[in-house]
A = this chain, B = another copy of it.
Amino acid sequence: MRDEGKKKQSRIATPSATSARSAFSEFDFIEHIRHQANTKRHNAQQHSVLSTQRSVLLSGIGDDAAIFRGSSQTDFCITTDLLVEEIDFRRTTTTPRFLGWKALAVSLSDIAAMGARPRFALLSVGVPQEIWRTEFLAHFYEGFFALADEHQVALVGGDVSRTPERIVIDSIVIGETKRGRAILRSGARPGDHIFVTGALGGAAAGLQLLEQGARPPRRAATSRPPNARTQLLLRQLRPMPRVAWGAWLAERKLATAIIDLSDGLSSDLAHLCRESKAGAIIEAAAIPHKKALDSLSLDEDQRLALALHGGEDFELLFTVRPQHASRIPLEVDGVPATRIGEIRKQVSGYKIDFDGHPRDLQSAGFVHFK
């Protein structure tokens, strides 16, 4: 996948006065749409007094997924992710199987970031005529179903369309939680501890390798214990959504806020903080780097930059009240979590601490439109 990033309406950052962006970015635009949608919703809810039976929207634009009430016991979350050839991936640096896997993985990650269990998927796929004539789609769906099976997600619908040149995929996933248990980005409070699952920087390093000419690993390489280089490529090509962690946190009501790391730690932490109207400080030394990064000739700054700003690790960043921090286990389903910092008041901004020397943390996530 390309690192140029994508902005979900559900991943909203209010443009701040200190923002380096001078032009009207997609953040501004999405904020505008969010405002419009909220106004319309308000009007619709006034109307809905007339309606005898009407499902309730609990949370819309502004999080990893929207939430609506299913029943007295269940809430549903829904998310959509658009993947466009040459922007989000290239045919030459992935395979149809990896692409099918990743199309589902990015949406499962959004559902995990709500603390929900994924249930149903829909898939809209557009391909040019020359791709239609190949085995592309058969392999694409093979990759999709490989991951869907792991999480018992049922493909329930979709759309197949022709495109002039490029492949385009829209991946939609519906998850469910017990009523009121979905976890938003907005619940973090000053003093909360900040954790991340897994290790960071691997997906961005894998992308660099692909851009330098590495080819996607063959199928056989993915079944035996992969070497460091293959591990980095797989982090980029075949991400593992942290569904078990999300559900674990939600079921125990332990996380106050969650976001998935798609844009990069520095950006996604800022997104979470803006929704929570808070600041944060993280410790540089505490950030878990992907071990396989050691196989590359990188200095410490380069490794830190990959972990801080490299996107698509699809780990979860979550916050926990200080009195509950000790209840976070070393790992869930074989995946560790690491405490990397603390939520602060909004006026404190975003800091990164180098052995007692805090510096300003700049978001260096991906902007589609400059």
Shortest beta-carbon distance from A20 to chain B in Å: 18
Report Cα–Cα, A166/B43, bound state, in Å: 34
Bound complex: CA A155 to CA B41 (Å): 8
Q: In the assembled complex, how far is the CB of residue A369 from the closest CB belonging to chain B, in whole angstroms?
A: 5
Residues A55 and B74 in contact, CB atoms below 8 Å apart: yes
Given contacts A8-B159, A154-B60, contact A120 B66 (CB under 8 A): yes
How many angstroms between the C-alpha atoms of A174 and B137 in the bound complex?
Answer: 26
Nearest residue in B to A26 (C-beta to C-beta)?
A: B160
Q: B178 to A53, Cβ gap below 8 A?
A: yes
Q: B-facing mask of A78-115, CB < 8 A → 1, else 0?
A: 11111111111000000000000000000000000000
Inter-chain contacts of A291 with B (CB < 8 A): none
Q: A176 and B40: CB pair below 8 A? A: no
Given contacts A87-B163, A124-B81, whether A9 and B157 have CB atoms under 8 Å apart is yes
**Across-interface contacts of A159 in B (CB, < 8 A):** 6-10, 80-82, 170
Chain B residues within an 8 Å CB radius of A47: 152
Binds B, one of A30-38, A294-302, A315-323, A328-336: A30-38
Most buried by B among A41, A76, A124, A163: A124
Given the known interface contacts A9-B158, A160-B29, A162-B4, the answer about A176 and B37 at a Cβ–Cβ threshold of 8 Å is no
Whether a CB of chain B sits under 8 angstroms from the CB of A324 is no
Copies in the complex: 2
Q: CB within 8 Å of B: which of A124-171?
A: 124-126, 129, 132, 137, 141, 145, 148-149, 152-166, 168, 170
- Give the CA-CA distance A33 to B148 in the complex, in Å: 14
In angstroms, how far is the closest chain B Cβ from the Cβ of A150? 11
Q: Looking at the assembled complex, report how far the CB atom of A98 sits from the nearest CB atom of chain B, in whole angstroms.
A: 19
**Cα A253 to Cα B346 with chains together (Å):** 55
Residues of A within 8 A of B (CB): 4, 6-10, 26, 29-30, 33, 36-37, 40-41, 43-44, 47-48, 51, 53-55, 57, 60-61, 65-66, 68, 70-74, 76, 78-88, 119-120, 122-126, 129, 132, 137, 141, 145, 148-149, 152-166, 168, 170, 172, 174, 176, 178, 368-369
20 A–B contacts from the bound complex (CB under 8 Å):
A7-B161, A8-B159, A8-B160, A9-B160, A40-B145, A44-B152, A53-B74, A57-B156, A61-B157, A66-B157, A78-B122, A80-B158, A80-B172, A82-B124, A82-B125, A84-B164, A84-B168, A159-B170, A162-B369, A166-B166
